[in-house]
Amino acid sequence: MVQKRVESLQGKLIVSCQALPQEPLHSSFIMGRMALAAKMGGAVGIRANTKEDIAEIQTQVDLPVIGIVKRDYEGSEVYITPTMKEVEELMEVKPEIIAVDATGRLRPGDITLDDFFRQIKEKYPQQLWMADCSTVEEALHADELGFDFIGTTMVGYTEQSKGDKIEANDFEILRKIIVGAKSRVIAEGNINTPEKAKRVIELGAFSVVVGSIITRPQLITKSFAEALED
């Protein structure tokens, strides 16, 4: 059943419905309605943060969910589902896919990605896992580890990918990952036009996640305001 739901994502749009505590739309109620609006617009999947938001979203839409928990830990730069604690929280609401930071950085407690993935895979062997990566090398390593989905989520957000952009040179990073990986590749990160979304699917991405340009009105407004200032 889960596999069939996940297959419905192929070639389609996943919308990221997230709002952090410092953002004006931070509310599980609002994220639930945001997910409903995304579904009405044609989205076939949702990416969401925290078990509370996911639980509310599940009352509003019957769409597969990529679940994460963003949490900061002192001494580690990893903040997307960084420890087993976050995994356990997500398992309470059972999203179809759980995404974790799959960069080369150490997790809290100086745990490597390899060790962490071994732990979560052993504890939840039936769960589908997505690797949020920032470089081609990280993506191919995550593919070797056995992640079900490889994402370009962190491109440009880590020291090792500083200055990189997923859409640079006709999505060169994405194309290299698609060629080298056995697992399905989900394009995510700065895909802010319908044309870019269409292009990544043409290049062979399994699915595409779009976030801020749909669900963060303060950033959308800012782009218009800055254009007028220029």
Q: Give DSSP secondary structure letters for 74-125.
A: TTB---BS-SHHHHHHHHTT--SEEEEE-SSSPBTTTB-HHHHHHHHHHH-T
Q: Which two tokens stand for residue 177?
A: 């990952």
Q: Which domain holds residue 83?
A: 2-229
Helices then strands, each counted (H, E), the chain: 10, 8
We report the CATH number of the domain holding residue 118 as 3.20.20.70
* C-beta atoms surrounding 172 within 10 Å: 15
Output the tens digit of pLDDT for each of the chain's 230 residues. Answer: 788 899 999 999 999 999 999 999 999 999 999 999 999 999 999 999 999 999 999 999 999 999 999 999 999 999 999 999 999 999 999 999 999 999 999 999 999 999 999 999 999 999 999 999 999 999 999 999 999 999 999 999 999 999 999 999 999 999 999 999 999 999 999 999 999 999 999 999 999 999 999 999 999 999 999 999 97
What is the DSSP secondary structure assignment for residue 161, as one 8-state letter? Answer: G
Strands (E), the chain: 13-17, 45-49, 65-68, 97-101, 128-132, 149-151, 184-188, 207-210
Per the structure, the count of domains in the chain is 1
